[in-house]
Structure 1
């Protein structure tokens, strides 16, 4: 028996020395086996964290290229989800976690922004006419657990058959003001700021900016109000001068 054990030992040493992949293992109870948790660490699933108050969403530029490597969609935006669940809850899209996807066609294009584990998404469907392009559909969803240990609850929203952000081909739609999209009774999307262009981007750069109505009103209305006030003041001054001159003429001797 001892001779056989001795022979087996030399055999193992020979195999370990000359045959790759064969290793000696100590029969030591102090060496603990690898646990399943170390071999298969727990996968952390990304879940949005909703906030009770609004905040300015971080801005990022998202681009999509066609099969030739040409930029066909470019969008600079900050997006905030607004969920109505007894009271408003808010979630800002994190650009560092967004995956960009979609496709580019001659008359239709899609830009999809998706968070890990499909926790949230935002999609724009573009359409091109002869002289303009616009967003014909916006879809979004947000999934989060409503309580600790509860299953995820999803909020879905759709805004279709529209001509949003309509812009002349070769130009970009630009809006520094808030753009609020009501996608459902429980889900809205706030875009601020927003600049986008599809189909025709020279060297991947935005074309001439087309100002949105909200920005136009913010810029023009104060000018109109100011001009109206100045006009009223001038009328008041002129009226006062005319009345004063007439009163003086009434006291002149005949």
Structure 2
């Protein structure tokens, strides 16, 4: 039985760290960068934001919930504060335009005086696209002055021409020290839209990790059960052998 016990101990020594590592990996993969402020309790509603070319065809599709994290000077408090604002689809208009290698989605809300622009570029050689530019202009009620930021060197929401980019998990897009954007259940396709429908989805790394972790943990647990079962059967067989008549 010493050999069996050593096998069980070895497998436990390998399996438990594997399970722990999988859960730790999940924690690190889904935690937003520390620069982001705490979220509101209410998640933003998903909005359908499309861009139509001059000829009337849809050239960009986006379906996502958007949450703005903004640092600004409060007029009432006269100090810098951090606020979290959920973009409301029913109060937001979408516009923009598409060219062969770049596309633009403009979201505007007259009520909240917000204009948010997403700029995508396509590498015609690799057939890959990504979100490269974000511009935000906001003048909320308590803002002492208009908040305006832009970043043209981003590399988010990466996809392949003819496919849509999808990420069910929450992501944080850092734009500047004053602004970041949380996306929820995002699906976007800025190029090669056909029939006003998303192409086959390419899932983000966060979603793939979420699918992989249960498989790893399940396989480790199944292996542990198998080792324990084999140890039990071998031990039972040896126990019966000890009672044979000489």
**TM superposition score normalised by structure 1:** 0.70
Query: Are 2:129 and 1:142 aligned?
Result: no
What is the total number of aligned residue pairs between the two structures?
200
> Aligned Cα RMSD in Å?
2.5
Aligned twin of 1:39: none
User: How far apart are 1:88 and its partner, in Å?
Assistant: 4.5
Query: Are 2:50 and 1:63 aligned?
Result: yes
Aligned twin of 2:68: 81
User: How far apart are 1:98 and its partner, in Å?
Assistant: 1.8
**TM superposition score normalised by structure 2:** 0.72
5+ residue gaps, structure 2, are: 1-37, 73-79
Aligned twin of 2:113: 119
User: How far apart are 1:116 and its partner, in Å?
Assistant: 1.1
- The within-5 A match list for 1:1-254 is 53-84=40-71, 88-116=82-110, 119-130=113-124, 131-146=127-142, 152-250=144-242, 252=244
- Contact persistence 1:172–1:196 (CA under 8 A): yes
* Partners of 1:220 and 1:123 in 2: CA distance: 34
* Partners of 2:150 and 2:235 in 1: CA distance: 64
User: How far apart are 1:141 and its partner, in Å?
Assistant: 3.3
Q: 1:160 to 1:228 in 2, by over 3 A?
A: farther
- Contact persistence 1:174–1:196 (CA under 8 A): yes
- Contact persistence 1:177–1:215 (CA under 8 A): yes
Q: 1:144 to 1:246 in 2, by over 3 A?
A: same
Greater Cα offset, 191-200 or 178-187: 178-187
- Say which one has the larger Rg: 1
Helix, strand or coil at the partner of 1:63: strand
Greater Cα offset, 217-226 or 156-165: 156-165
Aligned twin of 1:21: none
* Partners of 2:157 and 2:173 in 1: CA distance: 12
- Contact persistence 2:156–2:173 (CA under 8 A): no
- Contact persistence 1:64–1:74 (CA under 8 A): yes
